[in-house]
A and B are shown apart, each in its own frame.
Chain A
Amino acid sequence: MNVSNPIQIKLVAFGVLQEIIGAPSIFISCDPNLESCKENLIKQYPALAKQAIQYAINHQLASENIALTNGSEIALLPPFSGG
């Protein structure tokens, strides 16, 4: 059985995602991987489930289930349309 200790991460949200979360940044606890972070976020903010979101970890675009460490900063990026 794979048991991991929860970690604290900082979330920075942009555009409509910031409006859903209600703040430019928040701290959450999750297991030390991106998938766990996503699951916790959607539990806390169900409206995020309908949004297109790209994730960046410590200012680097993340497309896989990358490992997180205590204090990691995760950016939540929505696509913008306007021009």
Chain B
Amino acid sequence: MFVNYQRQIILPEIGLAGQQKLQQSRVLFVGAGGLACPALLYLAACGIGTIGIIDFDSIEPSNLHRQILYGQNDIGKLKAIVAKDKLQTLHPNCHVNAYTSMLQNSNALTICQEYNLIIDASDNIETRYIIETACLQLKLPWVFAAIHKFEAQISVFNYGNTKTQYTDIFPKNIDNQAVLNCAETGVLGVLPGIVGSLQANEALKIILQLGNVLSGTLLCYNALTNAFYSIKTQNNSPQ
């Protein structure tokens, strides 16, 4: 079955041992929208063994310009179920679990503890606080991204020596209702495609222990200017 992954196995940095790490990995996606669609496709395609998808939402026509796992015939269906079916058709080697509930403090630990890595593909700050609390307790790394019109923020939390948290950057006193989401502001369709792919890349580097992970760094991306602006988020004091 590893023939599908031959082009990455021949990379000395990955090899058979790396492929086995991918196969043994269990990655949970919180949200199955714009950021999740490309990241799900890439992680399922590259041989991640188990993927979980938690999303309670149904597919709407206004999702289709950026949520590229879904098409016209999927409107009205649950995103988690459609995503699971499509991924398993495309990549039967990948086992997919769908959860059609909302991630809440009451279920976060039970669901997250089944996974090694969490991808935050949610669309609200409240959910990020829930992910952070669960990941802190379970000692899990999580790959964060959020988008606004033509811009994005990406980082990795609770990972490596720095163990920076989302609330180190944006403390819990933020009024979630005051921060506008895609439905209110609009968003360029390709933006979550680019940013979700960056999240998939961070997830792979964490699993394969390769390169530099965006832990301790908040990366800001602007699709209009192609500018990346990097901010160190860890404390400068000695660890």
Chain A interface (Cβ < 8 Å from any Cβ of B)? 12, 14-16, 24, 50-52, 54, 56, 59-61, 75, 77-83
CB contacts (< 8 Å) of B169 on chain A: these are 54, 61, 77
Given A16-B148, A54-B170, A59-B231, answer yes or no on A83-B179 (Cβ-Cβ < 8 Å). no
Given A52-B179, A54-B169, answer yes or no on A80-B232 (Cβ-Cβ < 8 Å). no
**Are A60 and B125 within 8 A (Cβ)?**
no
**Are B232 and A78 within 8 A (Cβ)?**
no
CB contacts (< 8 Å) of B121 on chain A: these are 83
Mask: chain B, 54-91; 1 = CB below 8 Å from A; 0 = not:
00000000000000000000000000000000000000
Q: How far is the CB of A72 from chain B (nearest CB, A)?
A: 14
Assembled-state Cα–Cα distance A28/B147 (Å): 28
The residue on A at minimum CB distance from B127 is: A83
B187: interface (CB < 8 Å): yes
CB contacts (< 8 Å) of B35 on chain A: these are 83
Assembled-state Cα–Cα distance A77/B230 (Å): 12
From B14-22, B95-103, B133-141, B149-157, give the one contacting chain A: B149-157
**Are B151 and A15 within 8 A (Cβ)?**
yes
**Are A80 and B218 within 8 A (Cβ)?**
no
**Are A81 and B170 within 8 A (Cβ)?**
no
Chain B interface (Cβ < 8 Å from any Cβ of A)? 31, 33-36, 120-125, 145-149, 151-153, 168-170, 173-176, 178-182, 185, 187, 192, 218, 220, 225, 229-233, 236
Assembled-state Cα–Cα distance A15/B170 (Å): 15
**Are A52 and B178 within 8 A (Cβ)?**
yes
A-B contact count (CB 8 A): 91
A–B complex contacts, Cβ < 8 Å, 30 sampled: A14-B220, A16-B148, A16-B180, A50-B178, A52-B178, A59-B230, A59-B231, A60-B232, A61-B231, A75-B231, A78-B148, A79-B125, A79-B170, A79-B174, A80-B148, A80-B153, A80-B179, A81-B125, A81-B176, A81-B179, A81-B181, A82-B147, A82-B148, A83-B31, A83-B34, A83-B35, A83-B36, A83-B120, A83-B123, A83-B145
CB contacts (< 8 Å) of B125 on chain A: these are 79, 81
Q: How far is the CB of B177 from chain A (nearest CB, A)?
A: 10
CB contacts (< 8 Å) of A54 on chain B: these are 169-170
CB contacts (< 8 Å) of B168 on chain A: these are 61
Assembled-state Cα–Cα distance A34/B152 (Å): 25
Of B148, B178, B180, B230, chain A has the most CB atoms within 10 Å of the CB of B148
CB contacts (< 8 Å) of A14 on chain B: these are 151, 220, 229
**Are A81 and B220 within 8 A (Cβ)?**
no
The residue on B at minimum CB distance from A15 is: B148
**Are B153 and A82 within 8 A (Cβ)?**
no
Assembled-state Cα–Cα distance A40/B229 (Å): 24
**Are B152 and A80 within 8 A (Cβ)?**
yes
Assembled-state Cα–Cα distance A24/B225 (Å): 10
